[in-house]
Structure 1
Amino acid sequence: MTIRAAVKGIGHYLPERVMENEEFTKRIDTSDEWIRTRTGIERRHIVAEGQTTADIGARAARAALADAGMTIDDIDAIIVATSTPDFTFPSAATMMQAELGMQRGFAFDVQAVCAGFVYALTNADGLIRTGQANRVLVIGAETFSRLMDWDDRSTSVLFGDGAGAVVLAAEDGDRGILGADLNSDGRYRDLLYADGGTSTGSIGVLRMQGREVFRHAVEKLATTAHTALGRAGLTAADVDWIVPHQANLRIISATAAKMGLPMEKVVVTVQDHGNTSAASIPLALSVGKQRGQIKPGDVVVTEAIGGGLAWGAVVIRL
């Protein structure tokens, strides 16, 4: 008997406010064409005043639970991937636990920035395989708009807010998480970081060396995806869909090419969401399912890289 962490439900939530590229031209020296050609981004969603990471994460969780035909009472654990929690502590996960009405089990956060969701999936897989939990709600939720320097055209145009979630359950069979690969290298921490925290006494804003991040991203993402496939006993030829971190269309395209896969096998949502960090993969999974692209039985590769640098990939048969 082989127990795997099978995906039983997928859902997402996007804030109502849509910010088109044109809005930036009123504040900084940029244009819709400049943003599109360099990033592929056309618009992004921004949280409303008073709307929190815990709020949007709970909304995505409810959508995933509904898709799974479950209630919160069926869940043993919640793992939240986020770099924008509402407070230093308690964790965003325990806040979502309370919001969802879950009064048992356990909840905790994972912080690996844009790679957070693949880290969270891998943690959930471990919990299920070792019998610590039978059903785990994995959420990626971010309010990156609150970390932006809105006068920095190299970063402010890239990010958006949103949340996505999946329900994983122990299942005997060939569906579920088949392989994973996680990596980090703290020597590159200055390439992508927020310049706030307990050492500064402020939340800070996001800082990035975009060219260097791009250089690392393509090589590391293709390598980690192939490693995860190898651990699953598969190759790129077995892949039905890549569901990548949605940071930049050029990174997505270059990574697919390096893996030897056509863009027709890539779920792309960056044009509508921008970079939603740890939320981008579950958002893309949910949208891909709604579009009818992703179907039961498909082999999906998710991969992401973020500040740390931290990167990784997970292979799933849906």
Structure 2
Amino acid sequence: MPAVTALKAISCYQPDGVLPVAKLPGLAALDAGEQETCARLGIDEVRADDSQSAFDLAARAARAALADAGLTADEVDALVLVDARAPEELMTSSATRLQALLGADRALTFSLGGLGCVSLTPALLTARGLLAADDDLEHVLVAHGSKPPTPLRYRHPVTVSGDGGAAAVVSRRGRVRIVDIVQETNGAHWDLFRVDYRDRPTAEWREECRDIPSYSFKLAVETRNRLRDLHRRLLDRNGLTPRDVTRYLSHNLSLGAFEFTEEALGVEIGTVCRENLRQYGHLGPNDVLLNLRAELDRDTLGDGQYAVLLSASPVAAWSLLLVQIGDGAPATYYL
């Protein structure tokens, strides 16, 4: 049986600057229908700081996670950076830059991504694999800085993106034990959203949907079916029912997305997700870590209780993560 994997520490960082959605740059230039859709998302404001890059956000969260775990950088055995959606420079390594900044000189270091909002999942799968493959490894640091690549933070018709960093120390022991992960992808939607940036000033970058009807209907139907199948498989292979799960935590896109997921799975999304959506907007793969950390801070998940973390991305990818809290967890795990 593979070694137990746990989240030893989870830390999130948001900059101080608050940007009301009503004052988003470029919002006034959108047509009336786009503005109305944006206003109905359930997002009042986001955090924004143009002086901090995605790398800066990831670095702040990574330092906080190490402090929360009571670790020094020299105790990090592996460092996995989830790539930013738009790198600051080409032909450089943000992962080794973070390694040098933290002083994690002995850490096996690399980056990964490519699944948008679901990119946390392969990072956790990789951390699990590293711990299972090498008994000498004890702590894997996973970090990501989420910052929209375009000046217009509104992605029509989906969400509004804010700035934020998140990091987790994945270890063999910790209060949040990772029980199982399921993930699926469909490459047919690989370019549904894109930013045409070649030979364009950054101020002119805009994220556009290739086919809004396909996103709103075809992908929505597939997402409903995929989430249902993944949810059933996740619970069945762990001998659980939905009633055994204390909290469902989703990525934060919109109020409509929460309602869609609740209807598709017959579950209730935790209220903390709506609260974080309202004040932070969408933070890419960091959403579920932000929501889980908020639940832990409020002490609303007790020993032995289960939570399911759901993520979906229009690339398209879907994932569900099953965790169990504290000392009530069983002795063996899928991970």
Structure 1 length normalisation: TM-score?
A: 0.85
**For the pair shown, which has the larger CA radius of gyration, 1 or 2?**
2
- Cα drift, residue 225 of structure 1: 3.1
Identify the residue that residue 244 of structure 1 maps to in structure 2. Answer: 250
Identify the residue that residue 4 of structure 1 maps to in structure 2. Answer: 4
Identify the residue that residue 294 of structure 2 maps to in structure 1. Answer: 287
Identity of aligned residues (%): 26
Counterpart contact for 2:82–2:144, Cα < 8 Å: yes
Distance of aligned partners of 1:272 and 1:265 in 2 relative to their CA distance in 1, 3 Å threshold: closer
- Which stretches in structure 2 are left out of the alignment for 5+ residues? 326-335
- Cα drift, residue 250 of structure 1: 1.5
Structure 1, 173-182 or 301-310: larger mean CA deviation: 173-182
Is the counterpart of residue 73 in structure 1 residue 74 in structure 2? yes
Map of 1:178-197 to 2, 5 A cutoff? 178-196=179-197
Measure, in 2, the Cα distance between the counterparts of 1:233 and 1:174: 21
Q: 2:216 aligns with which of 201, 211, 226?
A: 211
Is the counterpart of residue 55 in structure 1 residue 56 in structure 2? yes
Identify the residue that residue 114 of structure 1 maps to in structure 2. Answer: 117
Distance of aligned partners of 1:296 and 1:98 in 2 relative to their CA distance in 1, 3 Å threshold: farther
Counterpart contact for 1:12–1:165, Cα < 8 Å: yes
Q: 1:225 aligns with which of 231, 236, 240?
A: 231
Measure, in 2, the Cα distance between the counterparts of 1:294 and 1:91: 38
- Cα drift, residue 156 of structure 1: 8.9
Distance of aligned partners of 1:295 and 1:141 in 2 relative to their CA distance in 1, 3 Å threshold: farther
Is the counterpart of residue 127 in structure 1 residue 130 in structure 2? yes
- Which stretches in structure 1 are left out of the alignment for 5+ residues? none
Identify the residue that residue 312 of structure 1 maps to in structure 2. Answer: 319
**SS of residue paired to 2:171:** strand
Distance of aligned partners of 1:175 and 1:247 in 2 relative to their CA distance in 1, 3 Å threshold: closer
Identify the residue that residue 105 of structure 1 maps to in structure 2. Answer: 107
Distance of aligned partners of 1:256 and 1:123 in 2 relative to their CA distance in 1, 3 Å threshold: farther
Distance of aligned partners of 1:247 and 1:105 in 2 relative to their CA distance in 1, 3 Å threshold: same
Distance of aligned partners of 1:238 and 1:53 in 2 relative to their CA distance in 1, 3 Å threshold: same
Measure, in 2, the Cα distance between the counterparts of 1:153 and 1:116: 18
Identify the residue that residue 87 of structure 1 maps to in structure 2. Answer: 89
- Cα drift, residue 13 of structure 1: 0.4
Counterpart contact for 2:75–2:104, Cα < 8 Å: no
Measure, in 1, the Cα distance between the counterparts of 2:182 and 2:76: 26
**SS of residue paired to 1:263:** coil
**SS of residue paired to 2:160:** coil
Measure, in 1, the Cα distance between the counterparts of 2:281 and 2:176: 30
Is the counterpart of residue 21 in structure 1 residue 21 in structure 2? yes
Measure, in 1, the Cα distance between the counterparts of 2:109 and 2:187: 26
Identify the residue that residue 333 of structure 2 maps to in structure 1. Answer: none
Identify the residue that residue 167 of structure 1 maps to in structure 2. Answer: 169
Distance of aligned partners of 1:232 and 1:156 in 2 relative to their CA distance in 1, 3 Å threshold: closer
Structure 1, 88-97 or 306-315: larger mean CA deviation: 88-97
Counterpart contact for 1:140–1:282, Cα < 8 Å: no
Distance of aligned partners of 1:33 and 1:289 in 2 relative to their CA distance in 1, 3 Å threshold: farther
Counterpart contact for 1:217–1:251, Cα < 8 Å: no
- Cα drift, residue 294 of structure 1: 3.8
Letter in 2 for 1:274: G
Counterpart contact for 1:302–1:314, Cα < 8 Å: yes
Identify the residue that residue 158 of structure 1 maps to in structure 2. Answer: 160
Counterpart contact for 2:150–2:207, Cα < 8 Å: yes
